[in-house]
Amino acid sequence: MAEAYSIPHLSLKSFITFFLLLLLPLSCRTTNKPNVEGEALIEILHALDDSSHRITDWDSHFVSPCDSWSHITCRNGRVVTLSLPSNRFTGNLSPSIAKLKSLVSLDLRKNNLSGTLPDSLSSMLYLQNLNLADNYFNGSIPASWGQLPELKHLVVRGNQLTGSIPESLTNITGLMELDVSSNDLTGKIPQQLFSIQTFNFTDTHLTCGGNLQQPCVSSSSIPVAKRKSKVQVVVTAASLGAFSLLLLGAFFGYLFHRQHKFTDEIFFDVAGEDVREISFAQIRRFSLREMQLATDNFNESNIIGQGGYGKVYRGVLMDNTRVAVKRLMDYQSPGGEAAFLREVRLISIAVHKNLLRLIGFCTTSTEKILVYPFMQNLSVAYRLRDRKPGEQGLDWPTRKRIAFGTAHGLEYLHEHCNPKIIHRDMKAANILLNDEFEPVLGDFGLAKLMDTKVTHVTTQIRGTMGHIAPEYLSTGKSSEKTDVFGYGITLLELVTGQRAIDLCRLEEEEDVLLLDHIKKLLREKRLEDIVDQNLTTCNNIEVETILQVAMLCTQTSPEDRPKMAQVVSMLQGIGLAERWAEWEQLEQVRIQEFSLTSHKFIWAEDSTHHQEAIQLSQAR
């Protein structure tokens, strides 16, 4: 568990490395379809006709717009504000806007939008602020808008609207502002609308003003302008001049302090100004006090795991969000420092529903902390082998879902990120399970960025024995195919419930390595001995499919292993039969070669013994 959640201390050199990493062009695209709100926003943007390409980070391949899209804000994973003023849009407002069920504020003022106002807005039960001013909308104000129960501000001035003001708008009891000025509206204004705090009916053909009893604009809408005296102007100018000098002095003082700060101290103080120069998207920066309160001052009773870099605590934030707080203990460790930089870098940018999301971090001179969502069901390894009596295990449909979800997460890292990311520690212990037992791949402490044109990277061998690919173990060269190998071993863990290496199998004269053990059982067609005995029911065809994919993923030569995109297809049965037939043929050849080699060795050994016997006989 702690391995999936890993950390560190930051020197000047590492800060520079971190900063340079942030400047790298890094983009990730997931093949998963976005959620309903993401699809709706893409449809809205398409209808707005962004011919000037002002919005560049709305990507239909991302899982959720709340992860990184601009011009929106979210609450509890739902879009609550959409603000796109002054973007030179020339299209219209799509009815898909109604799919943003939690929208509170919509601002599209000062564009060149046209078309009619959509009736579909009437279904938005939480909408409070609607500003469509200074566009070219035509037609009438929809009467259905009177069904907006929470609407407080309705501004549609400066359009080409016609018809009358709907009587139904008087049903909106909380309406505080209504501005329909500078339109071609006609007819009588409903009497109740004059009691609104702020209203503006000017520059229209509506019945107000003149000799009528009701004004066309409320007093609160009239701007109040006061001329400043010469003395006020002089005082203001002098104040601004003095303030500018103070700012200039503070700026140079800051530069001097910053230079000496990095000379004298070897940590990156995220509480300082430097971090504000770096965009961390929606990642939160927590204070140490917040972390202490969340974990009851890092109470030992809240520890849910411990790894090489520190402990992981169960915590609760002030807004009642449950989190896993990963606290680096040896903050001066170079390895821990590198892991911290790596996790913050990778997890903050790689966004996918099957990858662990980083909520935020906390760093001081003595603490390096990462904050993740709390995974109620801990890890796959825990549920397979380490759970307490009475705790829920993993049934076959859940195991199959874990296999698919993990494959999608790895495919995303390998084939939809630039530079691509190799995880390098793929195992059941690093797959966490959320409340719905959906898999979330964690622990990027050993991950590496790799240019898409590079076939491998050579590093010090790191990872977990039994999961490490043979070429990586022998040469130190890792690639996405090393992840594929680790994934194949993970599939075997899912099917068997066993560890990748188990010395207990020696007592039964079986292979210590799970891979070799399963190969032997497959040759002997002992499927019933492969499947986890804790599984009460399972689909034999699906089990065979996953076992076949596992064997293809764990082939000795990395060139023979499939890519993760192919793995995803084969899990669905696409292209599996052909590759499995090839694997069986190669396996037969390997068995024959091994058998022949073994016979030669035995024959040579027997021949030697026979010659020795003759010599002994002659000696007598």
Q: Which residues fall in the annotated binding site for ATP? A: 326
Burial state string for 337-375 with b = 16 or more CB within 10 A and e = fewer than 16: bbbbbbbbbbbbbbbbbbbbbbbbbbbbeebbbbbbbbb
Tokens of 479: 């690639």
Helix axes 564-571, 480-496, angle to 10 degrees: 30
Residue type, 239: S
Structure letter (DSSP) for residue 49: T
CA nearest neighbour of 188 among 160, 158, 212: 212
CA angle 517, 404, 435 (to 5 degrees): 105
Residues 279 and 318: their CA atoms lie apart, in Å, by 24
Contact 221, 200 (CB under 8 A): yes
Give the three-state DSSP class for 474.
Answer: helix
Residues 487 and 468: their CA atoms lie apart, in Å, by 10
CA angle 97, 102, 105 (to 5 degrees): 70
* Residue of 59, 107, 134, 425 with catalytic role: 425
Residues 186 and 204: their CA atoms lie apart, in Å, by 7
Residues 82 and 448: their CA atoms lie apart, in Å, by 36
Residues 332 and 11: their CA atoms lie apart, in Å, by 9
Catalytic site residue 425? yes
Residues contributing to the annotated binding site: 326
Place of tokens 């599209």: 108
Give me the numbers of helices (H) and strands (E) for the chain, helices first please: 14, 26
Residues 259 and 213: their CA atoms lie apart, in Å, by 69
Antiparallel, parallel or unpaired: β 72-75 and 27-28: unpaired
Interacting residues of 507 by C-beta distance below 8 A, sequence separation 6+ = none
Catalytically active residues, by annotation: 425
